[in-house]
Amino acid sequence: MHMHKFEKIWLIFGVGALLVFLSVLGVSAFYLGNQPPSCLATIDQEKVDTLPPFNEPGLKKVEGKDWDYELIFVAAAFAYTPGEVEVPLGAKVKVIATTKDVIHGFQVAGTNINMMLEPGYISEYVTTFDKAGEYLILCNEYCGMGHHMMTSKIEVVE
Amino acid sequence: MGIATEKLNVDRRDGRLVMAHFYVAFIALAVGGLAGLLQVLVRSGKFELPLGIGYYQVLTVHGVVLGLVLTTFFIMGFQIAAVSRTSGTLTNKQRVIGWIGFWLMTAGTIMAAVMILLNEATVLYTFYAPLQAHAIYYLGLTFVVVGSWFDGAAIILAYSKWRKAHPGTPSPLLTFMAVVNTLMWIVATIGVATTVLFQLLPWSLGLVDRVDVLLSRTLFWYFGHPLVYFWLLPAYMCWYAIIPKIIGGKIFSDSLARLSFILFLLFSIPVGFHHQLTEPGIDPAWKFLQVVLTFLVIIPSLMTAFSLFATFESFGRSRGARGLFGWVRELPWGDARFSVPFIGMLSFIPAGAGGIINASHQMNQVVHNTIWVTGHFHLTLATAVILTFFGISYWLVPHLTGRKLTKAMNKLAIIQGVLWAIGMTFMSGAMHAAGLLGAPRRSSFSEYGGAPQAAEWIPYQIAQAVGGSILFLAIILMLYIFINLAFFAPKGEQDFPVGEVADEAEKAPMVFENWKLWLGITVVLILFAYTIPLIDMIENAPIGSKGYKLW
């Protein structure tokens, strides 16, 4: 099968760029630990309110962990609990969330906190809040009539 | 390519089967386009739906009729026409199988449509459990898929007949491409058929109480990504094998075109996790593996881009063009059959770049489920693919109805394409920008409790409404052109252009038609990418979900 010289150059360049790109992603994921939220823990979605840590939604200071705080959210059609929360500036926080009913999309607008909440599973993401201000939390996966009314708020304060 | 044995016209009986598919496709365009207009108007915040119609009901209509109905009917119709033109008229048996497919798909479409209109299936076209639609909705979608298998069977039977009659000769390029796309479609739809038949149908009928949500989503996305290549490959058929003839040039390389289609077959399917990157319950190492496989389709995409522009440049230079870009002026810009698909090709450059961002393991978090994604697939499907389908219709519809594309219609077609480009620049551009600011997709107008961030998105939503309205005008023009070409254009002979290979290109190696080999590798890749994560998912599954009807 004949391949034009220019096409060979084009493909070598393209495949080379692809390899560099994939290496960057790979190093970021496996060496720097920048993995997408992929918590493997499960939960009985019908008993979320009675099971720790979801029986006490909100911000909690923790000791002896890689992060300073745990921020617990419970989603249900069509609201998040808590409806509003304050986080100190610069805090390293593990956001832990789950749903009591259908799938929701937990997104903190303007940040990289963006994870699917699926019934029976816990979702987690560790992040640092290094910019003060008010952040909107919304639902970005269709969950029914009131999907676009589902909100909460994170206030990052000094 | 066995040009001497080709029949130059599609037989009238095959033509009727193809046109039946196209009528449904263009009715879907009208209905889905209207739904799209209503959505952008609602999201501008200046308009409310009358008669208690829900935003999400309209959104379900839009996704189902454009994403599933328009595409599947048009593609199957076009592929049957391409096979009939290049491998000979279908036998009566093959044509009957095609008609069975058409009627099954049509019946399924009507079933799903009735359920959506009755507000029994406001679950969008992705129907994620545990939102539970009426069983007839799932059954209707099953009929659409099963019907498409019948159409696919007609294509494969026609190919096998040609294959047996021409041992040692590579099959006609368009037939080969239609067969690759059909095989990919069959392998991919097994996933969605499995979740619908074994999970969602029994659950919606009340035979079982609970459904495994993550498993169902995984089976859906096993199908959902090859679905987008099922849309794209027919456009590539036109770009590789038809456009060269329209401009008066040659196919750059028959073998490389086949190779790129085989690569799409291999790398389109074991990649569904890149739609599930932010989901719990899947190990990130498996996500990364599928990210790598996803990016391998960049190779055939680069080959395609090279091949197309090589055809254009060779043609321009053969006409005496000089300088680095002199050949651009030689292209037939006044011919809608070329210029409208060309707008589609151009749109695929930013569309492909956006796709790379979406599938990037970590970067996905920035854009996942934001309206950026909607902006992305309105460049891929709703510009690159659909403008190519329109470009095909300009000659294929009159070819099949024994009419001609008149100069006036050609002009209107170009205006339609330009309007589309303008409207989409506004709409998709504003969607990409708002998505980066965090605006979600699939959401009705909301001020999110007066949040300042949400207020920033509203000007972009107004830009989307402006773009969407221009697009709706373009759709009306397209429907007018289609009706003209189908019923009113003057009688005559409109050519079905089939590209010829450049002189220096040699015969394609027969290994490309070793289906056992290619399907074998496809299956091995799928098993490699999915077996262990699926076992993990099933072994560690939570209790499962009851159904919810929250609309």
Cβ contact, residue pair B278, A114, below 8 Å? yes
pLDDT at residue B502 greater than cutoff 90 = no
The pLDDT-based confidence of B6 (bands split at 50, 70, 90) is: very low
Per-residue pLDDT of A134-158, as tens digits, reads 999 999 999 999 999 999 999 999 8
- A62 to chain B, minimum CA–CA distance in Å? 23
**What does the pLDDT average to over B520-532?**
96
CATH superfamily, domain at A45-157: Cupredoxins -  blue copper proteins (2.60.40.420)
Question: What is the pLDDT, as a whole number, of residue B504?
Answer: 61
Domain boundaries, chain A: 1-35, 45-157
Whole-number Å distance between alpha carbons of B9 and B396: 10
pLDDT at residue B521 greater than cutoff 60 = yes
Cβ contact, residue pair B253, A4, below 8 Å? yes
Cβ contact, residue pair B130, A121, below 8 Å? no
Per-residue pLDDT of B426-443, as tens digits, reads 999 999 999 999 999 999
Question: Across chain B, what does the average pLDDT equal?
Answer: 95
B299 contact residues in A (CB cutoff 8 A) = 11, 14-15, 18
A101 contact residues in B (CB cutoff 8 A) = 130, 548, 550
- List the single best residue of B119, B301, B453 to mutate versus A (max A Cβ within 10 A): B453
B329 in any annotated domain? no
Of residues B502 and A103, the one with the higher pLDDT is: A103
| CB interface of A with B, residues 58-77, below 8 Å | 77
Domain count, chain B: 1
- Using CA coordinates, name the residue in chain B closest to A100: B545
Question: What is the pLDDT, as a whole number, of residue B482?
Answer: 98
Per-residue pLDDT of A48-99, as tens digits, reads 999 999 999 999 999 999 999 999 999 999 999 999 999 999 999 999 999 9
> Which is catalytic among the residues B127, B441, B496, B512?
B441
Nearest to B365 among A112, A118, A141 (CB): A112
- B355 to chain A, minimum CA–CA distance in Å? 14
Q: Respond yes or no: is residue B368 known to be catalytic.
A: no
**Residue B517: CATH number of its domain:** 1.20.210.10
Identify the bridge partners of residue A42 per DSSP, sorted by sequence position: A121
Q: Respond yes or no: is residue B317 known to be catalytic.
A: no
- Using CA coordinates, name the residue in chain B closest to A137: B448
Of residues B507 and B4, the one with the higher pLDDT is: B507
Whole-number Å distance between alpha carbons of B150 and B17: 13
Cβ contact, residue pair B445, A148, below 8 Å? yes
B170 contact residues in A (CB cutoff 8 A) = none
- Confirm if A105 and B369 have CB atoms less than 8 A apart: yes
Question: What is the pLDDT, as a whole number, of residue B2?
Answer: 41
Question: What is the pLDDT, as a whole number, of residue B1?
Answer: 40
Cβ contact, residue pair B366, A114, below 8 Å? yes
Q: What is the b/e burial string over B30-41, where b = at least 16 CB atoms within 10 angstroms of the residue's CB?
A: bbbbbbbbbbbb
pLDDT at residue A107 greater than cutoff 50 = yes
Whole-number Å distance between alpha carbons of B483 and B33: 16
pLDDT at residue B396 greater than cutoff 70 = yes
pLDDT at residue B505 greater than cutoff 80 = no
Question: What is the pLDDT, as a whole number, of residue B506?
Answer: 74
**What does the pLDDT average to over B221-232?**
96
Q: What percent of chain B shows pLDDT beyond 90?
A: 94
Per-residue pLDDT of B72-128, as tens digits, reads 999 999 999 999 999 999 999 999 999 999 999 999 999 999 999 999 999 999 999
Q: Respond yes or no: is residue B376 known to be catalytic.
A: yes
SS3 state at A50: helix
Whole-number Å distance between alpha carbons of B451 and B449: 6
Instruction: Give residue B56's domain range.
Output: 7-324+346-539
pLDDT at residue B5 greater than cutoff 70 = no
B205's tokens: 């009928």
SS3 state at B369: coil
B548 in any annotated domain? no
The pLDDT-based confidence of B323 (bands split at 50, 70, 90) is: confident
Q: Respond yes or no: is residue B229 known to be catalytic.
A: yes
Cβ contact, residue pair A42, B277, below 8 Å? no
Give the residue carrying structure tokens 């496809």. Answer: B522
> Which is catalytic among the residues B125, B137, B138, B229?
B229
- Give, in order, the Cα–Cα distances in Å from B398 to each of A52, B9, B407, B493: 67, 12, 13, 8
Nearest to A102 among B370, B448, B548 (CB): B548
Which ipTM did the prediction report?
A: 0.95
- Confirm if B394 and B485 have CB atoms less than 8 A apart: yes
Q: What is the b/e burial string over A11-42, where b = at least 16 CB atoms within 10 angstroms of the residue's CB?
A: eeebeeebeeebeebeebbeeeebbbbbbeeb
- Using CA coordinates, name the residue in chain A closest to B442: A142
Closest to B250 measured CA to CA, from B7, B79, B1, B6 = B1
B545 in any annotated domain? no
Q: Respond yes or no: is residue B441 known to be catalytic.
A: yes
Cβ contact, residue pair B441, A140, below 8 Å? yes
